[in-house]
Chains A and B, each alone.
Chain A
Amino acid sequence: MKPQRDSGITGGAAPEPGREPPSTEIVVDHVGKHFFHDGRPIVALADVSLSVAAGEFVSVIGPSGCGKSTLLRVVGGLITPDAGKISIGGTTADEARAAKRFGFVPQTPALLPWRSVAENVTLLRDVGRRWWPSRRDPWTANPDDGNRDPMALLEQVGLAPFARSLPKELSGGMQQRVSLVRAFALGAPILLMDEPFAALDEITRDAMRYQLLEVWGQTKTTVVFVTHSITEAVVLSDRVCTMAARPGRVASVEQITLARPRTEDMEDSDQFASCAHRVRTSLRASWEGRRQ
Chain B
Amino acid sequence: MSGTGGRLSAEGDAVPGSADAAELRPPATGWARRAARSVLPGIAAFAVLFGGWEFGVRVTHIPATELVAPSAIFRELWRDPGFFASNAWITLQEAFWGFLVAFAVAIGAAIVVVHSRVMERALTPIVVMLQVTPILALAPPLVVWLGFGPQPKIVMAALITFVPLFTNATVGFRAIDPATFEIMRSVDASKTEIFRRLRVPHSLPYLLAATRVCVGLALIGAVVAEFFNASAGLGWIIEVAQNYQEASVVWAAIFTLIFLGVVLVGLVTLAQRRLLRWAEVDAANP
Q: Which residues of A contact B (CB under 8 A)?
A: 73, 76-78, 94, 97-98, 100, 102-104, 106-108, 110-114, 123-124, 127-128, 161-162, 165-166, 168-171, 174, 186, 192
Contacts and interface: CB of A to CB of B under 8 A. Distances in A.
A170 B15 CA distance: 8
A169 B282 contact: yes
A contacts with B: majority SS = loop
A100 B17 contact: no
Interface stretch (B179-187, B208-216, B222-230): B179-187
Contacts of A168: 278, 281-282, 285
- Max chain A Cβ within 10 angstroms of own Cβ: one of B17, B177, B183: B183
Given A106-B179, A110-B180, A127-B193, A97 B282 contact: no
A98 B180 contact: no
Interface of B: 1, 15-18, 177, 179-180, 182-190, 193, 197-198, 201, 277-279, 281-282, 285
A110 B177 contact: yes
Contacts of B188: 94, 97-98, 100, 127-128
Contact of A127 (B18, B187, B282): B187
A161 B16 contact: yes
B187 A114 contact: no
Contacts of B17: 162, 169-171, 174
Contacts of B183: 104, 106, 110, 123-124
Nearest to A126: B197
Contacts of A174: 17
A192 B186 contact: yes
B256 to A, nearest CB: 37
A112 B193 contact: no
Given A162-B16, A169-B15, A170-B17, A102 B180 contact: no
B187 A186 contact: yes
B187 A97 contact: yes
A192 B201 CA distance: 27
Q: Which 6 A-B pairs have the closest CB atoms?
A: A110-B179, A104-B186, A114-B278, A106-B179, A98-B188, A110-B180
A104 B16 contact: no
Nearest to A103: B186
Given A162-B16, A169-B285, A108 B179 contact: yes
B16 A169 contact: yes
Given A110-B177, A171-B17, A128 B193 contact: yes
Nearest to B196: A132
Nearest to A100: B187
A106 B182 contact: yes
Given A97-B187, A113-B1, A169-B16, A107 B179 contact: yes
Nearest to B21: A169
Nearest to A98: B188
A165 B182 contact: no
- Max chain B Cβ within 10 angstroms of own Cβ: one of A73, A169, A170: A169
B204 to A, nearest CB: 8
Contacts of B15: 169
A192 to B, nearest CB: 7
20 contacts: A76-B186, A78-B185, A97-B185, A97-B186, A107-B179, A108-B179, A112-B180, A112-B198, A113-B1, A123-B183, A127-B193, A128-B189, A162-B17, A166-B278, A168-B281, A169-B16, A169-B17, A169-B285, A170-B16, A171-B18
A87 to B, nearest CB: 18
Contacts of A106: 179, 182-183
Contacts of A192: 186
- Max chain B Cβ within 10 angstroms of own Cβ: one of A106, A162, A186: A106
Contacts of A128: 187-190, 193
A163 to B, nearest CB: 11
A236 B183 CA distance: 23
Contacts of A186: 187
A124 B282 contact: no
A165 B187 contact: no
Given A104-B187, A114-B279, A169-B15, 12 more contacts: A76-B186, A78-B182, A78-B186, A97-B187, A98-B188, A106-B179, A110-B183, A112-B198, A165-B16, A166-B277, A170-B285, A171-B18
